[in-house]
Structure 1
Amino acid sequence: MKINLRQIEVFRAIMLSGSISGASRLLLVSQPAVSRLISYTEQRLGFLLFQRIKGRLYPTPEAQRLFEEVSSLYESVQRVNDVAENLVENRAGQLRVACSPNIGQSLMPRAIAIFCQRYPDIRIALHTLIPGALLKGLLTHQVELGIAYMPVAHPSLEIRPLYRNRIVAALPAGHALTARDEITTRDLIDEPLVGYNSDIPFGQLVQQLFGNDAGQPLPRVEVTQAHVACAMVQAGIGVALVDEITMQGPIWSNIVTKPIAPEINAPIDIFSIQFQPLSRLAVEFISVLESLRS
């Protein structure tokens, strides 16, 4: 390398100030130090950068051409500093998050509203995905955070518990079971049930609630998402087992919820890649999510 960053800094200081003395003041070093370094730089380059005419320094045409590149370099450095400052202040950037569909209608709108109020310049990309697609999104770095009920652990994921998320029975208003304080799965055996596809984790959890195959009710309607089940109950089609987080979403009129006994949960966790530091934005978003627990 013919010229290093310190030599570039001294050269630029002379070009800006027009003299050795001015450069020494800009750089807070002695004039002899500036003179020695610029002389050494000229030796390394193999051409003169300045000529002294009647006691003043004048840049050569070669110096003028070199200064154009140096100016571009310093503009790039300034952009780096600007980006760093924006990162410190969380003034720019994008946060990529994935969640399960029911959370996308309940928890996430509240969390994102708070986050956007705090950081109005940040862009959020929210993907509502089923657990398998959410896991793939995390592992391929398409998203930084995942928020979901995803009971199958993966060795590459770090898991932060967020909500216990109790399972409740969603009943049409006026249903006889709404008079109960708690409901058991036995109470629902003869009820028209809105059930779930057994391929999804929540559907598998609901099946576990009813026990063995002999105790499994035949759903009147089968869906893949809890908020769709709520819409079915709202329409008077039947009853459904849903989670508390889903019930915090849209105002479900004409629906009454009752806790299931014994208590069972579909815990909501925050997922990220293990041993990979989170961005400042992701850490801030997790803080917002955790603040909504209270």
Structure 2
Amino acid sequence: MSMNLRQIEVFRAVMITGSISGASQLLFVSQPAVSRLLSHTESRVGFALFERIKGRLYATPEAKKLFREVEQVYAGVLRVNELARELGEHREGILNVVSSPSVGQMVIPQAMATFRHSHPQVKLGFQFLGYAPLVERLLNHQADLGVTILPVEHPNLDTTPLGSGRLVCICPYNHPLSRRAILGADDLLAFPLVAYDRGSPFGVLVTGWFEAHGQGYRTAIEVGSPQNACALVQAGAGIALVDEFSVRSWPASQLVVRPLHEAPALHANLVHSRFEPLSQIAQTFVGVLRELMQSEGFEAEGRSVDSIA
């Protein structure tokens, strides 16, 4: 037999507090009421949830397994209540955005600031995440749209190009490479390189560029993201290859940026559910984001905002 929401609530309260009296205080009901409902729940599921030893309750192994699932259900109920509250408070709507760190440091915050001027009543949410958490948020409908420079291939997600940049080299001021107009792979070999795990998306990109120019490379410091690389280069730890989106979030006075010979392009992509059209609010935000990309010099590509509704 199945458990209803009230039985789930009582079971969870007993698990959390460890006693009938604690559950009654948590739920603001009498102890006999909790005892009756707990007994009825055990009858419905067909097995004991608690063992009573010397006047204390101890959860059975079955109850512990059940509790893990109950916590997920309870978290979902809390999200429903939170959404209902937010919809009541923000009648113009809610927009939750996730992005990769590269565009999350500068591009998305600027777009949100611009969007807020014309839509002050819309509640905005924003996080920059790694690849897997970003995709998970979109698939679980915990975010309305995502923006990432890493390729996203999933049958339930739709991808639309917003703009593009290139891989560039960054170095400290007064570095020998700062006097070059454009850099090739052989120009970089004499200097300590801040790079990435070769199996990571950026590691594959950097390795591919060196190999395309007939060169290998040695990593002096391995980092997890272009933002880490920028910080180390700014501190004078070496040089690095990063995307233009990341380096644009750093003050121009802190880093020297030089183009690479035949540098690969990196595309900023809008990602959202393939089965749900973007809301009018989301479409408006995407329009603001696309205009910002153009004004910052990132070449706009792909379909119009209207075509992704």
TM-score range, shorter chain: 0.5 to 0.7
Query: Cα offset for 1:140?
Result: 1.3
* Partner Cα separation in structure 1 for residue 97 and residue 250 of structure 2: 21
Q: Is the 8 A contact 2:102 2:243 kept in 1?
A: no
1:247 aligns with 2:247: yes
1:133 aligns with 2:142: no
* Partner Cα separation in structure 2 for residue 279 and residue 201 of structure 1: 31
* Partner Cα separation in structure 2 for residue 268 and residue 176 of structure 1: 31
* Partner Cα separation in structure 2 for residue 193 and residue 121 of structure 1: 47
1:121 aligns with 2:151: no
* Partner Cα separation in structure 2 for residue 168 and residue 215 of structure 1: 17
* Partner Cα separation in structure 2 for residue 268 and residue 202 of structure 1: 14
Q: Is the 8 A contact 2:171 2:178 kept in 1?
A: yes
Aligned pairs for 1:214-229 (under 5 A) are 215-229=215-229
Query: Cα offset for 1:181?
Result: 1.4
Q: Which residue of 1 aligns with 2:230?
A: 230
Q: Which residue of 2 aligns with 1:276?
A: 276
Q: One-letter code of the match for 2:268?
A: I
Structure 1: state its 5+ residue gaps.
Answer: 1-82
Query: Cα offset for 1:102?
Result: 2.3
Greater alpha carbon shift after TM alignment, 268-277 vs 214-223: 214-223
* Partner Cα separation in structure 1 for residue 141 and residue 200 of structure 2: 23
Query: Cα offset for 1:91?
Result: 5.4
1:130–1:199 Cα change, 3 Å: farther
- CA offset digits 1:78-107 (Å, max 9, x no partner): xxxxx89x9xxx952211111011222111
* Partner Cα separation in structure 2 for residue 200 and residue 142 of structure 1: 25
- TM-score, normalised via structure 1 length: 0.66
Q: One-letter code of the match for 2:274?
A: Q
Q: Is the 8 A contact 2:191 2:239 kept in 1?
A: yes
Q: One-letter code of the match for 1:130?
A: G
Q: Is the 8 A contact 2:193 2:221 kept in 1?
A: yes
| Aligned partner of residue 219 in structure 2, secondary structure | coil
1:185–1:172 Cα change, 3 Å: same
Q: Is the 8 A contact 1:105 1:250 kept in 2?
A: no
Aligned pairs for 1:59-70 (under 5 A) are none
Q: Is the 8 A contact 2:185 2:215 kept in 1?
A: no
* Partner Cα separation in structure 1 for residue 198 and residue 133 of structure 2: 17
Structure 2: state its 5+ residue gaps.
Answer: 1-86, 295-309
* Partner Cα separation in structure 2 for residue 91 and residue 252 of structure 1: 41
* Partner Cα separation in structure 2 for residue 290 and residue 131 of structure 1: 22
Give % identity: 35
1:106 aligns with 2:72: no
| Aligned partner of residue 263 in structure 1, secondary structure | coil
Q: One-letter code of the match for 2:112?
A: I
1:193 aligns with 2:190: no
- CA offset digits 1:11-36 (Å, max 9, x no partner): xxxxxxxxxxxxxxxxxxxxxxxxxx
Q: One-letter code of the match for 1:254?
A: Q
Q: Is the 8 A contact 2:102 2:149 kept in 1?
A: no
* Partner Cα separation in structure 2 for residue 133 and residue 198 of structure 1: 21
* Partner Cα separation in structure 1 for residue 200 and residue 135 of structure 2: 13
Q: One-letter code of the match for 1:194?
A: V
* Partner Cα separation in structure 1 for residue 284 and residue 200 of structure 2: 30
Q: Which residue of 1 aligns with 2:182?
A: 182
Q: Is the 8 A contact 1:234 1:253 kept in 2?
A: no
Q: Which residue of 2 aligns with 1:167?
A: 167
Q: Which residue of 2 aligns with 1:145?
A: 145
* Partner Cα separation in structure 1 for residue 129 and residue 221 of structure 2: 22
| Aligned partner of residue 241 in structure 1, secondary structure | strand
Query: Cα offset for 1:252?
Result: 4.8
Rg larger for: 1
Aligned pairs for 1:16-35 (under 5 A) are none
* Partner Cα separation in structure 2 for residue 200 and residue 207 of structure 1: 10
What RMSD in Å do the two structures reach over aligned CA positions? 2.1
* Partner Cα separation in structure 1 for residue 292 and residue 93 of structure 2: 24
| Aligned partner of residue 166 in structure 1, secondary structure | strand
- CA offset digits 1:213-272 (Å, max 9, x no partner): x94322111111111111100000000001111122131533110111113112111101
1:251–1:91 Cα change, 3 Å: farther
* Partner Cα separation in structure 1 for residue 220 and residue 180 of structure 2: 23
Query: Cα offset for 1:199?
Result: 4.2
* Partner Cα separation in structure 1 for residue 281 and residue 200 of structure 2: 30
